[in-house]
Amino acid sequence: MAAAIALAAACDDGAPPPAPPTPATPVSAAAPEPPAGAAPADSAPAPAAGSPSNPLGLPVRRMRLDPGRRVFTFSDRMLAAAKPGSTLVFYAATVVGFDGDELIVEGRGGASYKVHPGYVIAVPDKPRLALQAPVLTEWNGVMKHGILRRFVKDRVGVEFTDADGRAPEAMLKDARFVPQQEGLVPGNYAALREGDGWRQVLLVSKLGEETPARWFVLGYGGAARIVEEAALKPIPIQFKNQKVGTQVWAAWVGELRPATLQSADDVGFYTVKFERAGRPVRVGWGHLVLKLEGG
């Protein structure tokens, strides 16, 4: 797995340090050991390498966005070196133009570059935000998942659900927000069936009108993968009104494992105890699912 990526220092006072921008759950020394061995191979062959703007050879996709529209995508350096299994991280960028079906975006560094629309999640210009609702947002330019807590003048309070431990609320100013919707939707987490187990993946884009349908996803550590849609099950963006003692599946180092709800914490968070494990751990929405067939 690729090395962690250093993030820039925070601009807002009192906000938490950045957490790993990959599907992850809180870390605890007493939690279950990571699964041994490498992850099983994808069910579909890896696509052929493409251009620097489309290194995974994704099929043609059209996405018309006006210049100035904000998006989440991958940096030009990451795209240039990307291949199946490479680490990819969503960063904030801005559309500045088009070249055929490709978008031209400008990242935090200021340089513009081309990107295939299949590597992009568009941000609405005027999102309708609701308190205690799940959103995609950004922290130090990295896309994050969070729960919207409060509005304070020109800032928005967000608690990140993909942060380790009990990270304090971050007060964001001029940040991007994408209200999440249930289902297999870009930016959501999903459960991927592999062999006798389930893995947590981040959905990036569906590959056109292919049959069988396939998705570009990011696995544990941000590993780029192409998988069949039939092997995916949506993970709820909200997980409400569950009783203590309920049996669930919760994410741990990229794998979904049986666990028991021990308490309902703040909206968006539960404390769970994994089977055959030590201390309970705290997990957020997007990392919990009630039932997985065949599990």
β-sheet bridge partners, residue 32: none
Average pLDDT over every residue of 167-188? 94
Whether 19 shows a pLDDT value over 50: the answer reads no
Instruction: Assess whether pLDDT exceeds 70 at residue 97.
Output: yes
Same-domain pairing of 149 and 175 = yes
| 168 and 196 share one domain | no
Average pLDDT over residues 204-215: 90
Give the pLDDT mean for 241-263: 92
Q: What mean pLDDT do residues 8-23 have?
A: 39
- Comparing C-alpha atoms, which of 183, 187, 157 is closest to residue 170? 157
- Total-model pTM: 0.82
Q: How many domains does the structure of the chain reveal?
A: 3
Is 267 domain-assigned?
yes
* Ranges 8-22, 149-163, 271-285: which has the least confidence: 8-22
pLDDT at 241: 82
- The pLDDT assigned to 45 comes to 37
The tokens for 257 are 């494992």
12 belongs to a structural domain: no
- What are the φ/ψ torsions at residue 276 (nearest 5 degrees)? 55, 45
Computed over every residue of the chain, the mean pLDDT equals: 83
From residue 257, alpha-carbon distances to 31, 61, 113 in Å are 11, 35, 40
Q: Domain span at residue 223?
A: 189-234
Q: How far is CA 269 from CA 124, 151, 214, in A?
A: 26, 20, 31
Q: Is 29 left (phi over 0), alpha (psi -120 to 50) or beta?
A: alpha
pLDDT digits over 172-181, tens only? 999 999 999 9
Q: How large is the average pLDDT for residues 95-105?
A: 94
Chain CA centroid to CA 51, Å: 24
**Who's near 278: CB < 8 A, 6+ residues apart?**
28, 29, 30, 31
The CA angle 107-111-113, to the nearest 5 degrees, is 80
Extract the runs of DSSP E, i.e. beta strands, from the chain. Answer: 70-73, 91-99, 102-106, 112-115, 121-122, 134-139, 142-152, 155-160, 170-172, 178-179, 189-194, 197-206, 214-218, 224-228, 232-234, 247-252, 255-264, 269-274, 281-284, 288-289
Of the pLDDT bands very low, low, confident and very high (cuts 50, 70, 90), residue 294 is: low
User: Residue range 265-291: average pLDDT?
Assistant: 89
- Same domain membership, residue 173 and residue 145: yes
pLDDT at 248 over 70: yes
Predicted confidence band of residue 167 (pLDDT cuts 50, 70, 90)? confident
Pair (196, 219) in one structural domain: yes
Q: What is the pLDDT of residues 32-87, one digit of tens each?
A: 444 444 344 444 333 334 789 999 999 988 898 999 999 999 999 999 999 999 99
Q: Is the dihedral of CA 154, 157, 162, 164 positive or negative?
A: positive
> What's 255's domain CATH number?
2.30.30
**Which of 44-58, 104-118, 184-198, 231-245 is the least confident region?**
44-58
Residues 6+ apart with CB under 8 A from 237: 134, 180, 181, 182, 188, 285, 286
The whole-number pLDDT of residue 6 equals: 35
The verdict on residue 260 lying in a domain is yes
> Among candidates 97, 109, 98, 84, which has minimal Cα distance to 8?
109
Residue at 171 is within a domain: yes
Helices then strands, counting H and E runs in the chain, come out as: 1, 20
Position 144 in a domain: yes
Residue 78 placed within a domain: no
Which tokens in the block code for residue 279? 């201390």
Residues in Cβ contact with 290 at an 8 Å cutoff, skipping those fewer than 6 apart: 236, 239, 242, 246, 248, 249
Residues 6+ apart with CB under 8 A from 179: 124, 127, 128, 129, 130, 133, 134, 135
| Statement to judge: residues 257 and 227 lie in one domain | no
Answer whether residue 148 is part of any domain.
yes
Q: Is residue 227 part of a domain?
A: yes
Confidence at residue 164, expressed as pLDDT on a 0 to 100 scale? 64
146, 159 Cβ separation under 8 angstroms: yes
